[in-house]
Structure 1
Amino acid sequence: MERVQTRQLPVMLMALLMAFILVITGCSSGGNTKSDNSNGAGNTPANQATNGGAENAATGSESVSPADLQGTIKVWDWDEAFLTKMVPEFNKVYPNVKVEYTVVNNNDYMQKIQSGIASGSDVPDVILGEMNYRGQLFDLDILDNLEQAPYNFSKDQLLDYLAPILSNPKGELVGVDQSITPAGLAYRRDLAKEYLGTDDPDQVAALFPDWNAFIEKGKEVVSKSGGKVTMFASFDDAYRILREQTSKAYVDGNTINLTERLTKPLGTVFQMRDAGILGKYEAYTPGWNASFAKGDTLFYPMAPWGAKWNIAANDPDGEGRWGLIAAPEGSYTYGGTSISVYKGSKNKEAAWAYIQFAYMSDEGMEVNYKEFGNMAGTKAFFENHKDWIEAGTEYDKFFAGQNLNKTFYEKIVPTVKAEPQTKYHSIVQNAYNSLYPLWMKDTSIDLNAALDKLKSEVQNMAPDATVN
């Protein structure tokens, strides 16, 4: 017996050694890996949400490395520059996942999705949900619940205000954020100095503790400028801020409670109109775009994306001309896009790996944030990349060196409100869009008449609903 044990000892040692090697190998594939970038963005993409050990992007298992993940996924996106940069970066880490992407205009996106579902032929694995139609998309019930397998992502990892606008009518988390869109007010420093007496962001913000103060100060600005300068360029600029400052849900099943939801915000906009502090532009028209450089408007609504697409694009010579403050009475959301996985996808693990890498991982956000200015919607992003935020962005030069993203995160995010999106939200918005130009121009139309007309239009567009 003793001889047998002696002969078996090397075999037992070899077995133990092999087990030890397997454990070490598993830990190696499941732990942090250093990237080559100088910011130490070293977590593997599978682990982007928690910034802990690299896990299998889909299942949370620590036994599968990114190189082992295989498949082909379809992505529809409208940002070709993002795709051409991000996909090669993704394939450096996931070499065996093929990404077939199609550039789709965001105005055509929802129709293309619906056509694909109807034909059963062409629906992407990764689906984007722009805010204007997000409620309709979520209502289709074609997006996977990201808090269940194979994703196991927790909404607790998101910034607190995001979960409601990333959840479907059943309360399931069906998307993550492409980039956070908390919004405040951009303002012209030269006009603020001339008509408010200061261009300092803290001092400007202190002048507007509420909207009543804003209206009264606006009357002074209009008077001092001889009517040449208004507080907002458009009725719609004021409305989109005040509407989103209230997060109370107004859709209950098929009942749309417009009177309860819009009386206060829309009433305040009508007060601004009647006080003469709103410009006559319609939002996102050539005239509205030109007003940024023209200098006849003090304030504009602005989310993080606005520095590039509204300020720099419309006022290219405006370096040092702008400032940013939180809006009176609280912050709001302005636009935004969700990123989701199609329920019918045959490659859900690969689709989730792409989403995690591009929108939440250290490596992906190294590109996404620094080259495109997008800030992840996770708490971990802001906890782990304070140095990135402190460093500022190229668009800070338009704001006299004010650190925009730091301002957004520290002074605007804490008071952001958001409400769940339904299929009726876009209907209400479309009805409003058809009516507000007349409200802006015809001062004989008051709040009650406007609400009655809006309810009538919404009822026509949603005959299945009860509109109050």
Structure 2
Amino acid sequence: MKKSKKVLALLVCIFMTAGSLTACLSDKDAGDSGNNQEASPVANNGENTNKGTKDPADYKGEIAFWHFNSSEGPKIVEAFNKLYPNIKVKLTIVSDRDSQYQNKLTSAIRAGTGVPDVFVAESAFAKRLVEMPDAFADLTQRAKDVASKMIPFTVQVGTDKNGVLKALSHQAAPGAIAYKKPVAKKYLGTDDPNEIAKMLSSEEKMLETAKTLKEKSGGKVSLFPTWEEPKKMYLGARSQGWVVDNKLNIDNKVMELVDFAKTLRDNKYEAALTQWTPGWASAIANDEKAMVWACPPWEFRGLLTQTTQKLQMEADGVSQQHHSITSGEVHGWVSTQSHSSRILLGNLSNSLQLIKIH
């Protein structure tokens, strides 16, 4: 494979960070396609040995790009081509339902044929791919300036055990809990985020709140639609990963999650739905099903599904405009401190309230 294509792939990798994590294949595993303009040589550590700069429009060629999200993938290509208009991106969307995307990607890599130049990965499987030996390009030097400005843990996710940077992320999404204000007001007596934060501030408090919610609603409303909602809270609190010294490792937080999930299910404190299914999605609009959903920033507009509004968001003193936010009237967010949690206060009439959990 021509080194010019590898330079292109690396360039795309640095720019295409609108996916969760973006990685590029190494020369060993990537297939050759398209006629590409020769570019400056690349050293073994991924450092460009030619210090000159090049106009983005001067790059020409074709690259293959895989994504698992049909909404996000085309937007990434569109944004990339605004900067690099003469690079043709062959986009392939493969749904990851039942791990189809992951299986197709790993099979291609292991076979050494039909692999994309650039692909995206999310937190659920990114680290596993990053640790595949000799599979992906070394971005350590090429992305050094970019990585130095990123939140450290996002760089760590894209770095393998040998300290080689293989992938970059565009975001560090804070975890949040979204709760239905009308449900909280009706059954818990308040929809004040400071008060709800106290009710959800620990495992014990969540179980107490779930019990009250069940009793007050006559068993109709659960705290969570599924035990999967609080799952990431536990997984994110682990001190070690799934594999330590080449052996399966079960962190104590995983066992705490199992116990918590069993308690939720046994007591009908969760609605026994399956995350991302139609039933789970439809329950969002049903105030007689569940009260609390996990909600990272990218899911916010997915949770609100009825009418288009604008959200003026102010958090930690930084103001941003977000458009195409749907459902309830959104007046704004501000942040305060309450116990160990930071609250994102939002006046979302007839809709959701967010609580950001540290």
The question of a shared fold, defined as TM-score above 0.5 by the shorter chain, is answered with yes
Residues 406/306 of structure 1: CA separation in 2 closer, same or farther (3 Å cut)? farther
Which residue identity is paired with 1:164? Q
The match for 1:109 is: 101
Q: Name the SS of the counterpart of 1:137 in structure 2.
A: helix
How far the C-alpha of 1:410 sits from its partner, in A, is: 8.4
SS at 1:162 equivalent: helix
Letter aligned with residue 139 of structure 2: L
Match of 1:299 in 2: 292
Q: 1:145 aligns with which of 138, 147, 150?
A: 138
- AA aligned to 1:252 is V
Q: Which has the higher strand share?
A: 2
Residues 309-388 of structure 1: pairs in structure 2 closer than 5 A: 309=302, 311-312=303-304, 316-317=305-306, 386-387=318-319
Q: Give SS of 1:266's match.
A: helix
Larger helix proportion, structure 1 or 2?
1
Distance across 2 between alignment mates of 1:405 and 1:122: 48
Please state how far the C-alpha of 1:397 moved relative to its aligned partner.
4.8
Structure 2 residue 275 is the aligned partner of structure 1 residue 280: no
Distance 1:211 1:135, change over 3 A: same
Give the 3-state SS of the residue equivalent to 1:73 in structure 2.
Answer: strand
Conserved 8 A contact 2:179-2:292: yes
Distance 2:15 2:113 in 1: 32
Q: 1:70 and 2:60 equivalent?
A: yes
Residues 128 and 410 from structure 1, CA distance in 2 versus in 1: closer, same or farther, beyond 3 angstroms? Answer: farther
Could you tell me which residue of structure 2 aligns to residue 377 of structure 1? none
What are the ranges of 5 or more consecutive residues in structure 1 without an aligned counterpart?
A: 1-44, 50-55, 321-369, 371-381, 417-468
Coordinate RMSD, CA, aligned: 4.0
Q: Paired residue for 2:153, among 161, 164, 167?
A: 161
- CA offsets 1:146-185 (integer angstroms, 9 cap, x no match): 222x333453322233233222233332211254433211
Asked if structure 2 preserves the Cα contact closer than 8 Å seen for 1:396 and 1:402, the reply is no
- Provide Cα deviations, 1:21-72, integer angstroms capped at 9, x if missing partner: xxxxxxxxxxxxxxxxxxxxxxxx98999xxxxxx9x849463222233332
Residues 139 and 169 in structure 1, CA contact (< 8 A), matched pair in contact too: yes
Go from structure 1 to structure 2 and tell me whether the alpha carbon gap of 1:285 and 1:268 turns closer, same or farther (over 3 Å shift). same
Q: 1:187-198, aligned counterparts within 5 Å?
A: 187-198=179-190
- Return the alpha-carbon distance in structure 2 between the equivalents of residues 189 and 99 of structure 1: 44
Contact kept? 1:392, 1:404, Cα under 8 Å: no
Cα pair distance change 1:289/1:245, threshold 3 Å: same
Secondary structure at 2:81 match in 1? helix
State how 1:18-417 maps to structure 2 within 5 Å: 59=48, 61=51, 63-106=53-96, 107-141=99-133, 142-148=135-141, 150-153=142-145, 155-258=147-250, 260-295=252-287, 296-309=289-302, 311-312=303-304, 316-317=305-306, 386-387=318-319, 389=320, 391-395=321-325, 397-398=327-328, 400-403=330-333
Structure 1 residue 319, shift from structure 2 partner: 8.4
Which of the two has higher C-alpha Rg?
1
Structure 2 counterpart SS, 1:187: strand
CA distance in structure 1 between the partners assigned to 2:235 and 2:112 by the alignment: 37
Q: TM-score, normalised by structure 1?
A: 0.54
User: Percent sequence identity over matched residues?
Assistant: 23
Q: Is the 8 A contact 2:242 2:250 kept in 1?
A: yes
Look up the equivalent residue of 2:298 and give its one-letter code: W
Specify the code of the residue in structure 1 equivalent to 2:124.
Answer: N
Once the two structures are superposed, what CA deviation does each residue of 1:92-141 show, in whole Å capped at 9, x if it has no partner?
33233222222222342222223333443322111211333323322323
Q: 1: CA distance between counterparts of 2:224 and 2:299?
A: 16
Spell out, residue by residue over 1:66-101, the C-alpha distance to the aligned partner (whole angstroms, 9 max, x if none). 223333222112334444444344333323322222
Q: CA deviation at 1:190?
A: 0.6
Q: Aligned partner of 1:73: which letter? A: I
**Aligned mates of 2:224, 2:308 — CA distance in 1:** 21
Deviations 1:163-216 (A, max 9, x none): 332222333322112544332111111101112222233332233332211211
Q: Is the 8 A contact 2:176 2:356 kept in 1?
A: no
CA contact (8 A) 1:110 1:137 kept: no
Deviations 1:258-302 (A, max 9, x none): 263422232233333444422222323332222212222010111
Distance 1:273-1:399 versus aligned 2 partners, 3 A rule: farther
Q: Please report how far the alpha carbon of residue 306 of structure 1 lies from its aligned counterpart in structure 2 after TM superposition.
A: 1.8
**d(CA) in 1 for partners of 2:267, 2:95:** 39
Q: Given residue 258 of structure 2, which amino acid in structure 1 is its aligned partner?
A: L
Distance 2:209 2:68 in 1: 41
TM-score where L is the length of structure 2? 0.68
**Aligned partners of 2:225 and 2:284: how far apart in 1?**
9
